Structure 1
Amino acid sequence: MKAVAVLSSLAAIADAAATWKNARFGGGGGFVPSIVFHPTEPGVAYARTDIGGIYRLNDDDSWTPITDSLADTAHWGRWGPDALALDPQDADIIYSAVGMYTNDWDPNNGAIIKSTDRGETWTVTDLPFKVGGNMPGRGMGERLAVDPKNSDIVYFGARSGNGLWKSTDAGESFEKVDSFEAVGTYIPNPNDSSGYNSDKQGLAFVTFDSTSDTVDGATSRIFVGTADNITASVYVTEDAGATWEAVEGQPDQFFPHKCRLQPDEGALYLSYTDGSGPYDGSLGSVWRYDISSGEWTNITPVTGSDLNFGFGGLALDMQNPGTLVVASLNSWWPDAQIYRSTDSGATWSVLWQWGNYPELIYYYGISTEKAPWIRNDFLDVDSKWLGWMIESLEINPHDSDHFLYGTGLTIFGGHDLTNWDRTHNITIESLADGIEETAVLEIASAPGGSELLAAVGDISGFSFADAADLDTAPQNVWNSPKFTSTDGVDYAGNNPEKVVRVGKDGGAPMLALSSDGGFTWALHAGADSSASGGKVAYSADGDIIVWSTESGNVIRSQDEGSFSAISSLSSGAVIAADRSDNDYFYAGSSGTFYVSSNGGSAFSEAGSLSGVDSIRDIATHPTTAGTLYISTNTGVFTSTDHGATFTPLSTTLTNTHQISLGVGAGSTDFNIYAFGTGPNGARLYGSGNGGDSWTDIQGDGQTFGAIDGARLAGSGNVGGRVYVGVLSRLVK
């Protein structure tokens, strides 16, 4: 999932310099299925996220996004990397297979992207099928690999029954390997009509044996894993891919997730689970395969009733053959477990164990200084400290003390792993600084109030009091109550310390109020469990709430009373409150605009919008009552009389989506920002002259995925600054 992009302050829209950076949540916030270190070049490592693109590791443990330029509105799925590969012979080269979904949620086929300068620039090779970076099984892998003896040869294991593919021109083109017939037949749920769980999982990994001979300049021995659990799931070629056969004697009960070569031992290590991950897995195993003898050894570190999970992340210490770590994929209670062996899996030690029940004895300490909210609002209120969905667990091949592992919340790791063997105690830190991978569902900036309010999927949301705070990870998420996901947030224009938010969990009251800019909260007294999700509008004085719920009607509450349906508005209506006049609310449904002058009690049809059949968003002026801007399928309209009449703005911008106003160059000037189609295509535009003309302020180096889902907020306090929240990032 990504975070919030922030455009640095501009003197004027016409002089817009498209410089963007992350608002800092500091802790990741979403699933990191893979981390890859370069095998021969120290200091080179990358992480792939499921919907937030790829990040490069820096010397100070922080991360830099390197695929932000790839996910334009036509190719938003390119922020979904499903596989990652480095060229063992050239540390500057990185490949990734990208594409978000294999069902119809993503309209595009996937692609193989390649960089020869560590992610500064990319080339794209389109594939004739889809790739599933956010599909089940995305933690398997890596499905993509470069021949360690021939940089021109790249293999990719596809999903959906598409089999094994090969490039012989360093990724410029790919052809199917017809000699490899296995396709990975496992389907999690054949009855899933959405296609999300009813697609074949396909191939799981491609692993070259760098110790094998060469055939015609290529590595002769290659192992490929498939998502099968009945007979064979691991295949091998001894002739550089001309022929393939199932590896004899292999386990046939579970699905392989990771396959790692230890060249000094001449062995493979593999982790197995009874599901394809990343959410499932109640049984599993770990195996060692001696390549020369063909002997398989079950080295599963736990047995019997203690084995109630599968295994995902698996790492070998390349400085110390025979030393490895493996993680439970999903041990939901009381916590995940990580196991370490220094004798090739013959014996294991653990990171925690039971004392006198319910006491736990910990062999680690944990720190979240880079993202305090992880400790304050997750670790300290749950038993799961080590994490969940651990599909990637890595030991730096050049530093046996340096380890990293990805979870469903962050990247953990540290720099003292060998202390495990000496004192049986290590230090674990949250080390995802720079990986801003959260689904931002709504944002707002309150003039005279909190500079940024961010409603976030899976981790509730955040408040930033001042612009300077955007460079510091918050102490807390929105809590008391903490909604798993917050769908909408709004503030009272005349009293911006008053904030309202709505959650989308369901099954409990999903509306909370704050009187201090979103730092402390209380449940709305009139809310019940019948409504959730959607968007919310707060009256100018902060005493009336209009809520366009996802679960039903548009409803209204005054003075924290119970909610009642607004019969004059249809379900799903777009809503907004006048920022200065407490009596006025506005709404749009299809192409019809509605106004309420009695605090939202009733709405009536107002001014007509010629040629409009879809009202997408409504932005009300921060300081002038009755002035508003309407984003539609034909462009932007404005009204200065509470929506009684409308005037279309410049025809430069059409088919617009979210729209927002923010402080301009002067303290009383306001810029308009809108996502729409303009001279440079579908992207973000700004106007500093009331919409008479529009300037592309996005630039070429930053994309926001599908712009119809991006969130937008002009700063209420900093001239020329605008915030963009996407389904994977919040940038400024």
Structure 2
Amino acid sequence: MAQGTTWSSAKFGGGGYVTGLVFHPTSANLLYARTDVGGAYRWNQATSSWLPITDGFTAAEGFQHGVESIALDPTNDRLVYIVTGMYASTDATARLYISSDRGDHWTHVDLPFSAGANNLGRAIGERLSVDPNKPSTLFFGSRTAGLWKSTDSGRTWAQVTSLSSAKLSSDQLNALGGQAMGVELVVFDTGTLGGGNATPTLYTAIAPDYVNAAGLSSNLYKSTDGGASWAPVSTPVSGYHVPHIVRAADGLFYVLFTKGKGPGDGGPARLYKFDGNNWTLLNSNDSAGYGGISVQGSGSTARIALGVSGTWGEYSGKQVVQLSDNGGQTWREIEAGMPGQGASGWVDDVEIDPSNRDHILHVHGGGIVETRNASSATPTWNNSVVGLEETCTLGLRTPPAGAPYFFINSSGDVGTWVHTNLATTPTLSPYKQWNSGNSADMAWSDPNYIAAGGVVNGSATAGGTGYWSGDGGQSWATFAALPSGAATNTSEASNLAVTARNKVVWAPADSVPSYSTDNGATWTATNLPALAVQNGVARSYRLVADRKNPNKVYAYDSGGAWWTYTGAKVYVSTDGGHNFTLSQGSVSANMRFAPWGSSSMAVNPNVEGDLWVADGLAVYHSVDSGATWTKLNNFAPIWNGRNDWLGPEVSGASIVALGKPKAGSTYSAAVYVVGVINSVWGVWRSDDGGATWVRHNDDAHQYAGVGVMAADQNTYGRIYVGGTCRGVLYSN
């Protein structure tokens, strides 16, 4: 790593779905959080913030940045396990990561099944459990392949065929829309720790889909011989999911039944107390689901926190978190209508702090909220997201030096934001309801003019949209019209370029780009050829405006996918993006065909006609507006035995960006490339136009790959990157 380079998060705060919270049962303030796509975190009591513990995951581990389950060794507070894998399948794609230092470092084991951290039901669990009496024994409830057991601390695994040997076929999984729930959790019936002998009695909850596929007779099974044999347990309701089971100190179990998978299941739902033989109904809801349950104490004085999911709104009269202090005999609402910042809807995991009964937290679609005075008649709620950054960045754009903002951030689910302060949550956005931002750009000669494209989600006006601001994001207006394809083709592959105030060229996904010279009042199609859709993989031209000559606009066609065998090419416009001419030099350069997200183009903002392309495998440079190209031989992908039509395991060069040059350097910009040199993936920097390179990051700051990047024009050495749903990070 370049000497002196450090990394920080540009603050947003939360922004994504935290799917589970796991406290260590005996060590105070030791708490972990798992997310569906953004890795895992550990609470840092000293700084009152969340510490990311998966930032060392490599570019080849992006799929593993979804964490399905976390388990802790109750006898060793330094040992932590996580099971990862973004989407369930019938293939063996999951991993078990093991850390002996609370997540500071990891080793991993490839597992013989898949996980689904970003599938439906992703807050169910915990699917991974450690036997508290014999911690070398682990169980995992998989989505597609039944129940599994390890007796050597997760190094090897075997299916628990005494429960069932069934594994879903591809046809069965497809019939479920890819959303299998399978074996949902395992809970041990013990109040002791250590001792060396395996806990004999344990329960496992089974989702309706696996009950049917395996020919089982109940949603709940019990073993009294450590999992060697299993017997069905009669339950008071059937055909429901069991998202959580908690064993209280007195040996009673508190069991949630909810009809749907979640997130935010709408019910109906039931909470029962179970003594091993008898069921007692404690709470029910026919118009909402139950997501989370936590119990402290036992018997008639047990404190129970119940998460009510599928209801939206924090006003009085709603149910969000129900609390009982008498073992479930009576209940009161402690969040809806209370002071502070609450969060309804996806209340799919609730935890009472084992060392502080007044500290209650729950997850939601935008992070974590908590109260630290739960016993109050009016508990106060606040976000607990300091250090937790889970936005999925789809586009970054930096302005010229001296602009009143650092960058424009286009992100999934949270929209477009103009960042004027890296240490505070941004406030400047065109649309602050549920939406996604795909791309934005500014006029280089007038950076207060910004154009942005995206999609409005989940409303009567859902669909593609575009915005503009003439005052640096202080105020916004919607474009009066949209170019052809923008309203319906809303993939993140869409992008736009601004040549001057009121002049925009827009390439919606899978559409011919159009231009506007009247601030979006009208649009005219360019002469760029239509791009063939590649088996449903969205694509578009990547547009870049020359910053020294706004009449020049460049359009890069990446070829669409790894399997097209249609070479990438560059088109050049000299009339502001109205008409384009194919660069025969780009054809002669034999640039690789690659998908949208594995290739990019950038322009040197300090020199006219100075272009760079990362084609997925290598880097190309042109100093004559794309007429001729020179291939740099530094970069090469990591194939690891994969067929070329599938694409490399790690792209050789996927992103290029140019920023402020180093003082006294021989080239007019610092060049940054995300790629591989000498089999080492990283962000690489060159200060001499690509002659030599130095790694700009290190192994601790890889963020499961970098998907977007922009370079600062004010500060040498500063870049902004989006990892795998880790928000925006910047180098110092």
| Cα gap change, 1:227 to 1:543, in 2 (>3 Å) | same
Correspondence for 1:394:
351
The residue type equivalent to 1:535 in the other structure is S
Distance of 1:578 and 1:85 partners within structure 2: 52
Give the whole-Å Cα distance in 1 for the aligned partners of 2:653 and 2:231.
55
Aligned partner of 1:671 in structure 2 is 670
Distance 1:185 1:329, change over 3 A: farther
Query: Among 640, 645, 655, which residue is 2:628 paired with?
Result: 645
Shift of 1:63: 0.3
Distance of 2:703 and 2:195 partners within structure 1: 45
Alpha carbons of structure 1 residues 288 and 483: separation in structure 2 relative to 1, 3 Å: closer
Alpha carbons of 1:485 and 1:308: their partners in 2 closer, same or farther (altered >3 Å)? same
Does the aligned pair in 2 maintain the 1:249–1:295 contact within 8 Å?
no
| Alpha-carbon distance in 1 for matches of 2:128, 2:490 | 41
Equivalent runs, 1:703-718 vs 2, <5 Å: 703-707=702-706, 710-718=707-715
Measure, in 1, the Cα distance between the counterparts of 2:21 and 2:109.
23
* Partner residue, 1:61: 48
Aligned-residue identity in percent: 28
| Equivalent position SS for 1:46 | strand
Paired residue for 2:248?
262
The offset of 1:100, in angstroms, is 0.9
- Go from structure 1 to structure 2 and tell me whether the alpha carbon gap of 1:166 and 1:141 turns closer, same or farther (over 3 Å shift): same
Structure 2 counterpart of 1:4: none
User: Residues 242 and 539 from structure 1, CA distance in 2 versus in 1: closer, same or farther, beyond 3 angstroms?
Assistant: closer
Name the structure 2 match of 1:370: none
Matched, 1:312 2:291: yes
Q: 1:624 offset after TM fit, Å?
A: 1.9
Query: Which structure exhibits the higher relative contact order, with contacts defined as CA atoms closer than 8 Å and separated by 6 or more residues?
Result: 1
**Equivalent residue number for residue 357 of structure 1:** none
Aligned pairs, number: 668
Match of 2:27 in 1: 41
Give the secondary structure class of the aligned counterpart of 1:517.
coil
1:728 counterpart = 2:712: no
The 3-state SS of whatever aligns with 2:340 is strand
Residue deviations 1:143-187 (CA, integer Å, cap 9, x gap): 111111112111111111x11112222222222222222869899
Give the structure 1 partner of residue 161 of structure 2.
178
* Correspondence for 1:412: 369
Q: TM-score, normalised by structure 2?
A: 0.86
Ranges in structure 1 where 5+ consecutive residues have no aligned partner: 1-13, 353-361, 368-384
CA distance in 1, matches of 2:320, 2:699: 44
Q: Check the 8 A contact 1:89/1:148 in 2, yes or no.
A: yes
1:510 aligns with 2:478: no
Q: 1:559 aligns to what?
A: 518
Say which is worse superposed, 538-547 or 406-415, in terms of deviation: 538-547
1:629 maps to 612
Displacement of 1:85 in angstroms is: 0.6
Contact 2:88 2:116 in 1 (8 A): yes
1:101-123: CA deviation from partner (whole Å, max 9, x where unpaired): 1249xx87111111111111111
- The aligned amino acid for 1:635 is A
Work out whether residues 248 and 298 of structure 2, in 8 Å CA contact, stay in contact via their aligned partners in 1.
no
1:587-614 CA-to-partner distances (Å, cap 9, x unmatched) read: 1223221001011111011241312143
- Pair 1:500–1:192, CA change in 2 (3 A): farther
Q: Which residue of 2 aligns with 1:344?
A: 327
Asked if 1:596 corresponds to 2:581, the answer is: no
Deviations 1:240-284 (CA, angstroms, capped at 9, x unpaired): 2221111234431411100000022x2111112111111543311
> Tell me, what secondary structure is at the counterpart of 2:78?
strand
| Separation (CA, whole Å) in 2 of partners of 1:628 and 1:556 | 22
Question: In structure 1, how many angstroms separate the alpha carbons of the residues matched to 2:150 and 2:124?
Answer: 21
Contact 1:184 1:202 in 2 (8 A): no
Query: Are residues 426 and 185 of structure 1, via their aligned partners in 2, closer, same or farther at CA, if it must alter by over 3 Å?
Result: farther
Cα deviation, residue 74, structure 1: 2.1
Structure 1 position 223 matched with structure 2 position 203 = yes
Partner of 2:422 in structure 1?
470
The letter for the 1-side match of 2:129 is A
Deviations 1:377-408 (A, max 9, x none): xxxxxxxx532211110000110011110001
- CA spacing shift, 1:283–1:426, aligned 2, 3 Å: same
Cα distance in 1, alignment partners of residues 603 and 32 from structure 2: 43
Task: Provide the rounded CA distance (Å) in 2 between the counterparts of 1:214 and 1:94.
Answer: 16
Select between 696-705 and 684-693 the one with higher mean Cα deviation: 696-705
Aligned residue for 2:73?
A: 87
Q: Please give the secondary structure, in 2, of the residue aligned with 1:256.
A: coil
Match for residue 146 of structure 1?
130
Cα distance in 2 between the residues matched to 1:176 and 1:186: 16
Residue 438 (structure 1) aligned with residue 422 (structure 2): no
User: C-alpha distance in 2, partners of 1:263/1:219?
Assistant: 16
8 Å CA contact 1:325, 1:339 repeated in 2: yes
Unpaired segments of 5 or more residues in structure 2?
Answer: 212-216, 532-539, 560-567, 638-651
SS of the residue aligned with 1:657? strand
d(CA) in 2 for partners of 1:407 and 1:192? 28
2:306 is matched with which residue?
Answer: 326
Q: Are the structure 2 counterparts of residues 290 and 715 from structure 1 closer, same or farther at C-alpha, using a change threshold of 3 Å?
A: same
Q: Is the 8 A contact 2:513 2:541 kept in 1?
A: yes
Match of 2:181 in 1: 201
**Is the alpha carbon distance of 1:479 and 1:336 closer, same or farther for their aligned partners in structure 2, counting shifts above 3 Å?**
farther
Q: 1:580 to 1:332 in 2, by over 3 A?
A: same
| RMSD of equivalent CA atoms | 2.7
Distance 1:132 1:341, change over 3 A: same
Letter in 2 for 1:326: L
Distance between the aligned counterparts of 1:216 and 1:124, measured in 2? 25
> Which of 657, 661, 664 is the matching residue for 1:660?
657
After superposing the two structures, state which structure 1 stretch, 532-541 or 602-611, moved more.
532-541
CA distance in 2, matches of 1:328, 1:693: 57
User: Who is 1:11 aligned against?
Assistant: none
Query: Which of 362, 365, 368 in structure 1 is aligned with 2:339?
Result: 365
